[in-house]
Structure 1
């Protein structure tokens, strides 16, 4: 089941908390979507100036949204997983960043962006 976007943007997005009392939620300014406040937002800037944001939704999955050269934004897309920490980006300002976060199992999990724009599966 895909979580619903409680902010009414794009029809789907970061979802309801499993334990709302334990996960204070913040809102991504101008883009809709709620995330776990303590994990923050991670922003990637590509060489053409477009940007992509990564958050840990209140369902503890990694979610992303990306801009295009016309100034529009995609809808929220789940990158899956169940993490217990903020998303980190290596390779900012490149076309092929790697994102990582600590999973519920305590392992560091990562995904790498390919030249095609798709992402590898989660790896630890």
Structure 2
């Protein structure tokens, strides 16, 4: 993963703010456009973006997961401390609810995977690790302090 410092966010990228997505992603993704191939640090305030997927999030607060069908799904902590996800073919970042803190300390992370069933974790405002499990059906469990 490469990190490049820059002063401004490139035009056409998404910005995560206040639980909403601002802007539009218009570029098509080639197979080699894997999130995390290149992160761009924006300014000196510790925010990063995926150069090929957009999105503005706290640096050291991102994880990517290759799904069973070969597509990628990324999980980040937005600048509003809310967890977001995006996957290839989805044109906008989705708010996962809750809040995550302590970037760089495995918050946000993938706890375990079993095909389409996996768990995302983050450190909540209470300092505890929280889990959100994705079931094979595509439904999410919602954030909980215990692993399912």
CA distance in structure 2 between the aligned counterparts of 1:112 and 1:79, rounded to whole angstroms:
11
Q: Relative contact order (alpha carbons < 8 A, sep ≥ 6): 1 or 2 greater? A: 1
Alpha-carbon distance change, 100 to 2 in structure 1, aligned in 2, over 3 angstroms:
closer
Which residue is 1:38 aligned to? Answer: 60
Alpha-carbon distance change, 38 to 3 in structure 1, aligned in 2, over 3 angstroms:
same
| Structure 2 residue ranges without an equivalent (≥5) | 1-17, 27-43
Two-structure CA RMSD over aligned residues (Å): 2.3
Q: Which has the larger radius of gyration?
A: 2
| Structure 1 residue ranges without an equivalent (≥5) | 11-21
| Number of corresponding residues | 108
Give the TM-score normalised by the residue count of structure 2: 0.64
Report whether the alignment pairs 1:47 with 2:68: yes
> Which structure carries more strand by proportion?
2
Give the TM-score normalised by the residue count of structure 1: 0.75
Moved over 6 A (4+): none
